[in-house]
Structure 1
Amino acid sequence: MNRHHLSLGADYALRMIRVFTDLFDGDMDRALVFIAAAQAGTEHLREQADYVELISGEFFPDEMRRPVSVSALARSLGIPVETTRRHVVKLASTGFAQRTASGGVIVTSEILAREEIRQAGLLNLGAMEALIDGLTRTPANR
């Protein structure tokens, strides 16, 4: 069962990487910086008691989002700060992220509502559903 689960997980990860890499002109590092910045901005909300109610809407309200520092993004991804900074600059210049006055990075609900992000999200949802389906179909004795 473990090899089967690992295979399903790898299939999902590769599909997700492809979807988001395509979104950023083949640049996997930029895609990862974008995903990490989007996740980091709302990570603190997972600990709230009303988290399930909060995620029932389309997006978390922007006033609940927190910017993340470039160095924190770099640490979370295990890539150099300068490389991360260059990707953040490119993301901001193309409208996929915003810089804050303090130098932080934030991905707003307006950015997440962009059509190309919505399409990537739908493709990712399909990949996630395939993963879940594969996991639930795994025989108990395999």
Structure 2
Amino acid sequence: MPPPTAEIAPGGAPARAVWRLIGTYMLRVAEELSRVGHLMDGIILFEVFRSNTEHWPPEVRGEEGTTAADMVPDTMRRPVTPGGVARRLGLPPETVRRHALRLVDRGLLARVPGGLILPAETLARQNVFPALAANAANLQRMMGALSQLGVLRLWDAEEAGDHGQEHAAAVG
């Protein structure tokens, strides 16, 4: 991350600048998701993917490359029900069920025992993988800007304060 170009006093985060960066990031995400289809479809795809993979430890990674064979096997994905997706997104279950059915029909989601997964074959598609790569770049751009504003340093300092003496001893 780039170093901060400004010093922020604790409790003095530049809220407008932070919200502007987050808003810009969200608009970029919406643009990329719309390339996959309906915006709601993209949001559901992202949540299914998150639910499928959030249990992975950090060392779980696919191979270098963009083909399905390069990605983490589908058997490692934890299925999620449409109801689980609806709860996590705060959406009506019927809305998620209807969109999920269409996504299954389009071959973007797969039904497996226990629910839905976003399979490696979908991730490797020409209209999906670039959207994920663009999202990673957009996230990096936002985090870099937050770092330059000094916000990440402030967040780290606040987190260190929350952990008290333990964290200070570990760092020092």
TM-score tier, shorter chain, comes to 0.7 to 0.9
Deviation string 1:51-94 (CA, Å, 9 cap, x unpaired) is 22213645332221111011101111111111111111111111
Compare 51-60 and 13-22 and name the one that shifted more: 51-60
- Listed as ranges, the gaps of 5+ residues in structure 1 are 46-50
- RMSD of Structure 2 on Structure 1 (CA): 1.8
Residue identity matched to 1:5: V
TM-score w.r.t. length of structure 1: 0.83
Q: Is the 8 A contact 1:42 1:60 kept in 2?
A: no
CA deviation after TM superposition for structure 1 residue 139, in Å: 5.1
Map of 1:48 onto structure 2: none
Q: How many residues align?
A: 132
**What's the CA shift for 1:101?**
4.3
Letter in 2 for 1:90: R
Match of 2:87 in 1: 75
Q: Secondary structure at the match of 1:53?
A: coil
Instruction: Look up the match of 2:25.
Output: 12
Match of 1:130 among 130, 141, 153: 141
Q: TM-score, normalised by structure 2?
A: 0.70
Q: Which residue of 2 aligns with 1:106?
A: 117
Query: By how many angstroms is 1:138 displaced?
Result: 1.2
CA contact (8 A) 2:53 2:78 kept: yes
Instruction: Please tell me whether Structure 1 or Structure 2 has the larger radius of gyration of its CA atoms.
Output: 2
CA contact (8 A) 2:79 2:113 kept: no
- Shift of the 21–139 alpha-carbon distance from structure 1 to 2, 3 Å rule, reads same
Q: Matched residues, percent identical?
A: 30
Structure 2 contact 110–117 (Cα < 8 Å) conserved: yes
Structure 2 unpaired stretches of 5+: 1-13, 65-70, 152-172
Aligned structure 1 segments of 4 or more residues deviating by more than 6 angstroms:
none
2:16 corresponding residue in structure 1: 3
Cα 1:32/1:139, change in 2 over 3 Å: closer
Report the AA paired with residue 28 of structure 1: L
Per the alignment, residue 47 of structure 2 pairs with 36
